[in-house]
Amino acid sequence: MARCYTWQAALFDVQTGEELQTFAGRGNEARYTPVGVSADGTHIALADGSLFQIWDAATGRVVRERSGSGGWSWAQLDGRGNLIISAEAADFLEVMPLAPSEPVRRITLPRDGYRRMFLDATAGIALLRQGRYSVVVDLAAEAVRFEIPGYFGSGIKTVTFSPDHSLIALGRSYGRVLIVDAQSGEIVGDALVHNAELQALDFAPDGSTIASAETYGLRIWSLDTALQGNIPARARLCIDADTPGGYEPGLAAIGTDLVFSNGTDQLQRLDPAGGEVTPWGPPFADRVRAVQLDDTGGFLFAELDRANVEVRRAADGSLVSTLGPHSARFRDVVVGPEGARVITLDRRGVAGLWDVESGDLLFAINNEDINIASAALSPDGALAAFAFGIRVAIFNAEDGTFITQWRLPDEREAIRIVEFSGDEELALIYADRNIQFINAVTGASRTRYGTGAENQADVITLSPDGTTFLYDDDEHVFVRDLATGEVLAQLTHAVTVSTARFDQTGERILTAVGDGTVALWDVSQQAPIARFAEHRGIMENAIFLADGQIASAGIIGQVCLFDGPGE
């Protein structure tokens, strides 16, 4: 005997538990998914596959229905009783009014593929989530308010709207909550950081707190605390660098101008005052992947696609020399003091020491058994250090002669980063979390201590006066006293730090992080002086300009200028 099913939906009184109404399905063909109840409680909407129905809650009769062409992904009732329907395969929303006499309307979206919809029924705001983008739609105006592209718009799992409809909190799958302005889409607070995936998110009725549920527990956040002192500054100027895929804008400050690469053979100059973009210097021999200046600002070094380094005079863009060819693209280019010497390190672990003026290769380390992990030049330009495995080798940077080598006592460890902390002193990071200071000439050890980091450090940088240094640890930047090793500051971010650098005083640090935010920190206060959140993508680079402005670039090719504090 065949078994048959009848699917039904039921409406209950919350206070008494009484069943008020049942809504019968289409026998064994129907399987209802609740969609919502109208704000006045007079109608409910149900979804049955690609069939969407509005029912009268009192009579249990269908008032209106619409059958989609397939692939409908989400639907909800807004505050006026309209059924808002989104289709994953369509680049539009459908608005089905309650009255059968009114036509179904469409709102055009920037793209298709939206898989989830979150609705503020009272305010008439819909947020639709796609794989890489999200969009906020004003249902009353039947228009898109703003799009949330790239890093911000992806991975949204749960959304809540503030009671006054001014803010939207976005809960992301990897444990971050971002708060944005519901009108403009601007980020208005630091990310609320969790230890596990977010499951739910909601504002308190008075809007003073946010409750968040993650895999392992519940948190209550004060909204005032989340927003206090974290209102991001707006960019004074942003441009699209038209960078092709696989290239990220490189930045260099030449005087008061910003020079950037955009994945072509021509560098561009951005006038910070007028925003005009013009070509900088003659074209290069190939596409430029990265640029940097020496410590005096006299030479510009451009890493090219064909694994060469072209050296240009910053004053006029004229060619000084070409360093190469190399066997593979670069992993690092280390520029010495006054740009006199350069170390190139390619992705095969081959290293070379070059004279910049002549373009001559002084010597190379090219051994299949040796993969150079890191290299450095001393502040006085006299020494060159190369780290590989458990060893660091020291050479005379003037003529390339070998001086000495130093090795770790434990062969299970490996040196990851080498940097000079003085004319004859090296700082080594190894075993991921340890720092060792040694004399580069004698090999004598000064001190060793743990970094306190939980993850691998990717950079170690000395302050301009050489008294402190910083290193990164995923979401943190640590600042230590060079002489004593004392931790002077721990700068905590919401997501992974991409870059960190001191200003000329050593009292401030500029960081760029994965959520598109650039922050300027006061080291002594261990707090941000300013936050710049204009970018819509992962940040990779940020630099100071000569007049105190800050320039930044992200992986989607956007270049922005910000006024520094007090400007």
Per-residue pLDDT of 112-143, as tens digits, reads 888 788 989 888 999 988 876 789 999 989 99
What confidence tier does 189 reach under pLDDT thresholds 50, 70, 90? low
**pLDDT surpasses 90 at 389:** no
Report which of residues 425 and 172 the model is more confident about: 425
**pLDDT surpasses 70 at 52:** yes
Task: Report the pLDDT value the prediction gives residue 343, as an integer from 0 to 100.
Answer: 93
**pLDDT surpasses 50 at 3:** no
Domain residue limits, the chain: 8-227, 232-258+455-567
Task: Report the pLDDT value the prediction gives residue 304, as an integer from 0 to 100.
Answer: 92
Per-residue pLDDT of 202-248, as tens digits, reads 999 999 899 988 876 788 888 876 665 444 556 677 777 777 766 77
Per-residue pLDDT of 428-464, as tens digits, reads 776 556 788 888 888 787 777 766 555 666 777 889 8
**pLDDT surpasses 60 at 32:** no
**pLDDT surpasses 60 at 414:** yes
CB distance 267 to 291 below 8 Å: yes
The amino acid present at 369, given as its one-letter code, is D
**pLDDT surpasses 90 at 515:** no
Residue the block writes with tokens 């991921």? 432
Mean pLDDT on 336-359: 90
Task: Report the pLDDT value the prediction gives residue 1, as an integer from 0 to 100.
Answer: 42
**pLDDT surpasses 90 at 358:** yes
Residue 292, classed as helix, strand or coil, is strand
Task: Report the pLDDT value the prediction gives residue 346, as an integer from 0 to 100.
Answer: 86
**pLDDT surpasses 70 at 379:** yes
What confidence tier does 4 reach under pLDDT thresholds 50, 70, 90? very low
**pLDDT surpasses 60 at 363:** yes
Mean pLDDT on 281-294: 92
What confidence tier does 319 reach under pLDDT thresholds 50, 70, 90? very high
Q: Which CATH number fits domain 232-258+455-567: 3.40.1350.10, 2.130.10.10, 3.40.50.10800, 2.30.110.10?
A: 2.130.10.10
CB-side neighbour CA atoms (13 Å) of 528: 24
**pLDDT surpasses 50 at 486:** yes
Cα distances (Å, whole numbers) of residue 142 to 65, 95, 99, 137, 186: 21, 9, 18, 7, 21
Cα distances (Å, whole numbers) of residue 114 to 92, 97, 143: 9, 22, 16
For residues 73 and 561, give the distance between their C-alpha atoms in angstroms, rounded to a whole number: 40
Report which of residues 62 and 195 the model is more confident about: 62
- Does an H or E element contain 521, and which? strand 518-522
- CATH topology identical between 8-227 and 232-258+455-567: yes
**pLDDT surpasses 90 at 16:** no
Residue the block writes with tokens 């055009």? 108
pTM, two decimal places? 0.65
Report which of residues 39 and 347 the model is more confident about: 347
Mean pLDDT on 247-274: 87
Question: Which of 217, 104, 221 shows the shortest CA–CA distance to 160?
Answer: 221
Q: 330 in the Ramachandran plot: left (φ > 0), alpha (ψ -120 to 50) or beta?
A: beta
Task: Report the pLDDT value the prediction gives residue 182, as an integer from 0 to 100.
Answer: 93
The average confidence (pLDDT) of the chain is 82
Cα distances (Å, whole numbers) of residue 95 to 92, 173, 456: 10, 29, 51
How much is the CA Rg of the chain, to the nearest whole Å?
A: 29
The set of residues, in sequence order, having a beta carbon less than 8 Å from that of 449 and lying 6+ positions away, is 434, 435, 485
Report which of residues 544 and 40 the model is more confident about: 544
Which CATH number applies to 8-227? 2.130.10.10
Task: Report the pLDDT value the prediction gives residue 27, as an integer from 0 to 100.
Answer: 45
